[in-house]
Amino acid sequence: MTVDHYHHMSWLHKSLSVSVYPIQWLAAAPVQLSHTLANNFRGRDVLLQENEHLRKELARLKQRTLKYEALLKENDRLRAFLDNSFKLGEQMLVAELVSVNLAPYEHRVLINKGSHFGVHVGQPVLSVDGIVGQVVRVSPTNAEILLITDPSHAIPVQVNRNGLRAIAVGNGRLDQLEVPNLPNNADIQTGDLLVTSGLGGVFPQGYPVATVTEVKTQAGSRFALITAKPSAALDRIREVLITWSQESARPFLPLQASPASGAEQTVPASPRPDSDEH
């Protein structure tokens, strides 16, 4: 039982994981098939509608990207002044969920990318809407993700509105997070967006985690009862993005590629592997 704790035995675990992969694949096949069928037999008007919708969305996002580029440059210059020339998580890999039921009392999911693709334990996993979880186990073909709603998971967050730091803890429901240990008079209200604070070193800073749905003050207690709804639709996601933030964190400056940024001054000579994110 304690085999897991010895590093030299991990090959056994790895080979076992690989040998059960066909069974996992078979177990996931019905769901996969139903998705494929649903995609194939979709009406023309539905597709046209979706196309239209996506085109609008693309236009909107492109327009936002224009602004983003400018803001990125500005942020870049400001960070150079602060001697905090570090950037996290830009490299991403798309992985698909393997629909298998690991343990009903835990929020763990399996994805179809493993150490063959360089996935490693502790990597943050996002969806297009927000943080999904982190990688907790890797085999050559698969990786296991612990969702942020698992009762054993906690993620450092801050309120996007005012920067108030807190920790969001899973409570075992797929659509709910709890924010414990905030005093009754903390400046947090319904509708506040919680983003990752980057403390703790696992998750990159500034990604949406959840929206506060309820703030209840308790008469007998010093702490408020705060619940939030995860931004990512954890019960419906099919695809996730795995990011590289720690291992391959790259220095943000110097920017040889874009000479217009004017960042030649205050550039640290080398990247600092131990920034405040670690």
Partner 1 sequence: MNTEDTRHYTTILISLVVAMILRLLEWPATLSMLNPDWVLLVLMYWCLTQSDRYGVGLAWLTGLLADAATGRLLGQHALIYALIAYGCVRLHTHLRVFPLLQQLAYVLFFLLCSQLIMFFIEILQGKPPLSWTYWLPALTGTLAWPAVLSICRAIQWRNPAHY
- Give yes or no for a contact between 145 and 111, defined as CB atoms under 8 angstroms apart: yes
Shortest distance in whole angstroms from residue 209 CB to partner 1? 20
Binding range to partner 1, per CB under 8 A, among 22-30, 180-188, 189-197, 237-245: 22-30
Tell whether residue 172 is a contact of partner 1 (CB under 8 A): yes
Among 11, 105, 236, 260, binds partner 1 (CB under 8 A): 105
Shortest distance in whole angstroms from residue 13 CB to partner 1? 5
CA separation for the pair 133, 144 (Å, rounded): 10
Instruction: Tell whether omega for the bond before 254 is within 30 degrees of 0, i.e. cis.
Output: yes
Q: Which residues contact 227 (CB under 8 A, 6 or more apart)?
A: 176, 177, 178, 179, 212, 213, 214
Contacts of partner 1 in 189-208 (CB under 8 A): none
Binding range to partner 1, per CB under 8 A, among 55-63, 99-107, 160-168, 189-197: 99-107
Tell whether residue 17 is a contact of partner 1 (CB under 8 A): yes
Record the tokens describing residue 145, joined without a space.
Answer: 């993700």
Q: Which residues contact 270 (CB under 8 A, 6 or more apart)?
A: 251
- Give yes or no for a contact between 149 and 173, defined as CB atoms under 8 angstroms apart: yes
Contacts of partner 1 in 106-125 (CB under 8 A): 106, 108, 110
Rounded to the nearest 5°, which phi and psi values hold at 18?
A: -65, -40
- Give yes or no for a contact between 278 and 92, defined as CB atoms under 8 angstroms apart: no
Contact letters (x/-) for partner 1, 250-269, by CB under 8 A? Answer: --------------------
Tell whether residue 152 is a contact of partner 1 (CB under 8 A): yes
**Best CA proximity match to 21, nearest among 143, 141, 144:** 141
| CB nearer partner 1, residue 85 or residue 127 | 127
Where does this chain bind partner 1 (CB under 8 A)? 1-4, 9, 12-13, 16-17, 19-20, 23-24, 26-28, 30-31, 99-106, 108, 110, 137, 144, 151-152, 172, 174, 235
